[in-house]
Amino acid sequence: MPRPKRGLAAIAPNVTIRDVAAKAGVSVATVSRVFNRKGPIREDTIRRVRDVAEELQYVPHAGARSLSTRSTRTIGVVLPDLHGEFFSEVIRGIDVAARQNGYHLLLSGSHSDREEMRAVVHAVRGLVDGLIVMSPDLEPSALLADLPTGIDVVMLNSRVDGRPSITIDNSGGAREVVRHLRSLGHERMAFIAGPPHNADAEQRRRGFRAETRASGIACTEFPGDFTETSGHAAGQAILAQDPRPTAVFAANDSMALGALSAFREAGLRVPEDIAIVGFDDIPIARFLTPPLTTVRVEIAELGRRAVSHVVNALEKSGDAAKKRDVIRTTLIVRESCGSPRAHGRGAQNEQRKNLGRSK
């Protein structure tokens, strides 16, 4: 007799674990151990049970399995937003690592709102084994009050005492940008800041301020919120400066993209007339015209490491307790930066050539 066709329509909803046990000639407990991967079971028994389950189109009930094992094989993920290349890369890293470890995901956005965060955290109770939380816009004390007890939680880009955390070396990356621009001869710089209560944005601002003060560089700061629109507005404000900065450091790539658009609209050449640097190295950065110099953050690695911390805690296979992990950054030099001295000499030489022709 041919096996029933696969697919949702072919699944027999009335087939129970008892039916599988009876046909395979084993106990219900043995079938349960096969699907929950618990306890020593002979390989031939595992194959027989799985073959029967496939023939009968038996699907283990996730809720029943979680009651018996106290495990859902699911990790909850709470991000401030689900839109944009940065968050897409974080999610990609989490998803790949979760699948490699046999876990599913429950994903939600908090929109950096305290009440939404509280609602999400309460909603996932009992549905997930562990939780990954990214909330750089909320105070740690507020987060601690909302995080569930008795569940393994890993923080991304925010720190809460007693919880494992993974953060970016934002300050170090910002300082490296200033040093690079200074080495090219830039002495007037502008900084496009991120959201005022965002931990990443504040650390990047601190790094920029510390290095410009140490180098004696004149700098001006402009408000931003990590969006292309705010970067465009800041770019227009920078164009109105007199004297105009020779280099711009945007606290993320999206704002750098917006500023680059504003400069183009005004007829400025990048980097000949003004240099620009971003932060994050989102995938589109290398495909801009000109390709964007930026601080690379291994964004997907943030997600992969977060899953690793959660899985280690759940399976007691590593030291996940109270660990702080820092993702190092790398300056990626592309074509959006240049030396104002070199461009100035080139302009002067061209002017001399033109004067010589006119004589």
Query: Which has the minimum average pLDDT: 10-14, 34-38, 216-220, 271-275?
Result: 10-14
What's the mean per-residue pLDDT of the chain? 83
Q: Do you find a cis peptide bond into 243, omega within 30 degrees of 0?
A: yes
Complete edge-to-edge strand list for the sheet that includes strand 247-250: 218-222, 188-192, 247-250, 275-280, 293-296, 330-332
What six digits make up the tokens of 99?
């699948």
What is the chain's percent helix, strand, coil content, to nearest 5? 50, 15, 35
Q: What pLDDT is recorded for position 119?
A: 82
Q: How confident is the model at residue 2 (pLDDT cuts 50, 70, 90)?
A: very low
For residue 160, give the nearest of 141, 133, 134, 132 by alpha carbon: 141
Q: What pLDDT is recorded for position 60?
A: 65
- The DSSP bridge pattern shows strands 324-327 and 275-280 to be unpaired
| In contact, 259 and 192? CB cutoff 8 Å | yes
Higher pLDDT, 157 or 102: 102
Question: What are the tens digits of pLDDT across the range 241-287?
Answer: 999 999 999 999 999 999 999 999 999 999 999 999 999 999 999 99
Q: What pLDDT is recorded for position 70?
A: 59
Question: What are the tens digits of pLDDT across the range 163-218?
Answer: 888 889 999 999 999 999 999 999 999 999 999 888 899 999 999 999 999 999 99
Choosing among 3.40.50.1100, 3.40.50.1220, 3.40.30.10, 3.40.50.2300, the CATH entry for 170-297+331-347 is 3.40.50.2300
Q: What pLDDT is recorded for position 345?
A: 39
Q: Which residues share a beta bridge with 190?
A: 220, 248
Residue 321 has pLDDT above 60, yes or no: no
For residue 158, give the nearest of 170, 175, 150, 172 by alpha carbon: 170
Q: Where are the domains of the chain?
A: 8-69, 74-163+300-328, 170-297+331-347
Non-local (6+) Cβ contacts of 177 within 8 A are: 208, 249, 277, 279, 295, 331
Q: What pLDDT is recorded for position 33?
A: 80
Q: How confident is the model at residue 4 (pLDDT cuts 50, 70, 90)?
A: very low
Query: Which has the minimum average pLDDT: 72-81, 155-164, 177-186, 301-310?
Result: 155-164
Strands (E), 241-304: 247-250, 275-280, 293-296
Higher pLDDT, 129 or 190: 190
For 49-66, give one letter per residue: b (16+ CB within 10 A) or e. bbebbeebbbeeeeeebb
Cα(315)–Cα(328) distance, rounded to whole angstroms?
A: 27
How confident is the model over 75-83, as a mean pLDDT? 86
Residue written as token pair 């290398």: 286
Give the pTM. 0.72
Question: What are the tens digits of pLDDT across the range 224-247?
Answer: 999 999 999 999 999 999 999 999
Cα(99)–Cα(90) distance, rounded to whole angstroms?
A: 14
Query: Do the two domains 74-163+300-328 and 170-297+331-347 of this chain adopt the same fold?
Result: yes
Q: What pLDDT is recorded for position 59?
A: 66
Q: What is the CATH number of domain 74-163+300-328?
A: 3.40.50.2300
Residue 313 has pLDDT above 90, yes or no: no
Q: What pLDDT is recorded for position 10?
A: 42
Non-local (6+) Cβ contacts of 231 within 8 A are: 192, 224, 250, 254, 255, 256, 257, 258, 259, 262
| In contact, 276 and 291? CB cutoff 8 Å | no
Class of domain 8-69: mainly alpha
Neighbours of 162 (CB within 10 A): 9
Name the 3-class secondary structure at 256: helix
